[in-house]
């Protein structure tokens, strides 16, 4: 694909110039302009500009969805909405993406197809809602529902981050204290024991070794740490490892129940919103399973799709899985019987969110003293290793 700086003429004979990206040739550019009602006068190939390397945050996507839905419901065309929001955003990377989406829409592509190259930014859920909104003629409602869902996702991420702020701070402080002890305190005692000709016990020798590595081989530790992080990320990207990790997260003693509530709430909310805008139940299950990004949910969704195709009820099929609580199953059963399944799925997700908040608060109450004791234990073991030769020396003098 290439980019072309071109001059075109409209039906009134007025010429204008612009830049068109992601087009294969001049002939392809000519055909795209004909679809828009323009005649190509001259084109010059240019090097396509790369998108700026800046992160697009979920909150920016949620704000975009709200504004897009509001402007579209007010009667503006899709191209005008995208152009206005493109000029309004301060994030250059997001502006580049919106410009690309707008050009595809102006070339006659559907909104789903225009957003498809940027699936990583907008998610499978957003694309599914766009597709459903275009098909049912309820695009503004789909955009508003997407914005509400994305805001819920942002709030969930913030709650998760807030839950781990205290453990992270304690871990960083503990690392700083341990590093300072190994770099500044241990060498002083090492020289003292060397002058006293004291035989060092095993724990002290280990501390001296760690101190030497930190002081003289730190330049090796930095790239080694980066390589370790990269290796772990690649390892977890492997399907089998990812599947084992997904199961482990659900079975952890303290974090497992909390993670199960969050996972089921996300799946149920996504499924309900997709059904509410007219997505068929089979497609809604598939999209909600992809959004959950968990191997257990993926396997359950595959079974649910077969059960629904066979004519069995959704609630009856879910009873075979311990992941879904009786409360969720009962709400789904009531929704199926009364014909208000999307509403009941939303209520189930809200109840699960509240339970997850209570579990997070309870978890922090248990975690704070445990981390404080662990930090004191680590520092105490280091100090014991430092002073242990001194105790042996004093006992020898006696």
CATH number at residue 67: 1.20.81.30
Q: Quick one: pLDDT at residue 14?
A: 81
Question: Both 287 and 367 in a single domain?
Answer: yes
Structural domain count of the chain? 3
Could you write out the three-class secondary structure of the chain?
A: CEEEEEEEECCCCCEEEEEEEEECCHHHHHHHHHHCCCEEEEEEEECCCCCCCCCCCHHHHHHHHHHHHHHHHCCCCHHHHHHHHHHHCCCHHHHHHHHHHHHHHHCCCCHHHHHHHHHHHHHHHHHHHHHHHHHHCCHHHHHHHHHHHHHHHHHHHHHHHHHCHHHHHHHHHHHHHHHHHHHHHHHHHHHHHHHHCCCCCHHHHHHHHHHHHHHHCHHHHHHHHHHHHHHHHHHHHCHHHHHHHHHHHHHCCCHHHHHHHHHHHHHHHHHHHHHHCCCCHHHHHHHHHHHHCCHHHHHHHHHHHHHHHCCCCHHHHHCCCCCCCHHHHHHHHHHHHHCCHHHHHHHHHHHHHHHHHHHHHHHHHHHHHHHHHHHHHHHHHHHHHHHHHHHHHHHHHC
Query: What number of other Cβ atoms are within 10 A of residue 303's Cβ?
Result: 13
Question: Both 223 and 345 in a single domain?
Answer: yes
Last residue within a domain, chosen from 152, 186, 209: 152
Domain that includes residue 90, residue range: 58-152
Question: Both 65 and 42 in a single domain?
Answer: no
Question: Both 19 and 133 in a single domain?
Answer: no
Q: Quick one: pLDDT at residue 327?
A: 92
In the chain, what is the straight-line distance between the N-terminal and C-terminal CA atoms, in Å? Answer: 84
Q: How many CA atoms lie within 13 A of 58 on its CB side?
A: 16
Q: Is residue 289 included in any domain, yes or no?
A: yes
Question: Both 71 and 216 in a single domain?
Answer: no
Q: Is residue 343 included in any domain, yes or no?
A: yes
Distance CA 96, CA 85 (A): 11
Last residue within a domain, chosen from 123, 152, 181: 152
Question: Both 100 and 186 in a single domain?
Answer: no
Q: Is residue 182 included in any domain, yes or no?
A: yes
Q: Is residue 159 included in any domain, yes or no?
A: no
Name the burial class of residue 37, with classes exposed (0-12), middle (13-18) and buried (19+) by CB atoms within 10 angstroms of its CB: exposed
What is the mean pLDDT for each group of 10 consecutive residues in the chain (398 residues)?
75 74 76 79 70 74 87 87 88 86 82 85 85 81 84 80 80 87 87 82 86 85 87 84 85 85 90 87 88 86 90 88 90 91 91 87 81 85 84 68
Q: Is residue 158 included in any domain, yes or no?
A: no
Q: Quick one: pLDDT at residue 280?
A: 87
Question: Both 237 and 369 in a single domain?
Answer: yes
Structure tokens at 382: 């280091």
Global pTM value:
0.72
Question: Both 360 and 256 in a single domain?
Answer: yes
């Amino acid at each position: 694909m290439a980019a072309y700086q071109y001059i075109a003429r409209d039906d009134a004979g007025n010429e204008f110039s612009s830049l068109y990206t992601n087009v294969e040739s001049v002939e392809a550019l000519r055909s795209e302009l004909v679809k828009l009602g323009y005649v190509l006068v001259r084109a010059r190939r240019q090097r396509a500009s790369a998108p700026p390397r800046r992160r697009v945050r979920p909150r920016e996507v949620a704000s975009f969805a709200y504004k897009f839905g509001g402007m579209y419901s007010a009667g503006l065309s899709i191209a005008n909405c995208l152009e206005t929001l493109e000029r309004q955003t301060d994030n250059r990377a997001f502006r580049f993406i919106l410009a690309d989406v707008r050009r595809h829409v102006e070339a006659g592509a559907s909104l789903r197809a225009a957003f498809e190259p940027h699936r990583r930014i907008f998610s499978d859920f957003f694309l599914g809602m766009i597709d459903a909104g275009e098909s049912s003629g309820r695009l503004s409602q789909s955009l508003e529902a997407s914005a509400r869902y994305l805001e819920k996702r942002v709030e969930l991420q913030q709650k998760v981050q807030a839950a781990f702020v205290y453990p992270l701070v304690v871990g960083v402080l503990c690392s700083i204290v341990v590093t300072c002890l190994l770099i500044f305190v241990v060498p002083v005692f090492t020289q003292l024991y060397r002058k006293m000709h004291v035989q060092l016990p095993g724990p002290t020798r280990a501390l001296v070794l760690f101190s030497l590595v930190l002081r003289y081989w730190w330049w090796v530790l930095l790239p080694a740490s980066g390589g370790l992080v990269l290796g772990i990320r690649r390892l977890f990207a492997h399907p089998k490892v990812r599947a084992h990790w997904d199961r482990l997260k659900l079975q952890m003693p303290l974090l497992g129940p909390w993670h199960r509530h969050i996972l089921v709430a996300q799946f149920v909310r996504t499924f309900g919103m997709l059904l509410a805008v007219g997505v068929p139940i089979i497609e809604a299950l598939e999209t909600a399973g992809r959004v959950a990004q968990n191997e257990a949910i993926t396997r359950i969704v595959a079974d649910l799709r077969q059960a629904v195709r066979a004519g069995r009820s959704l609630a009856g099929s879910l009873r075979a899985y311990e992941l879904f609580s009786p409360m969720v199953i009962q709400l789904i059963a009531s929704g199926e019987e009364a014909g208000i399944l999307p509403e009941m799925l939303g209520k189930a997700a809200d109840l699960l969110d509240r339970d997850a908040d209570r579990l997070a608060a309870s978890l922090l109450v248990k975690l704070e003293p445990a981390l404080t004791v662990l930090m004191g234990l680590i520092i105490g073991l280091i100090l014991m290793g430092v002073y242990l030769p001194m105790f042996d020396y004093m006992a020898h003098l006696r």
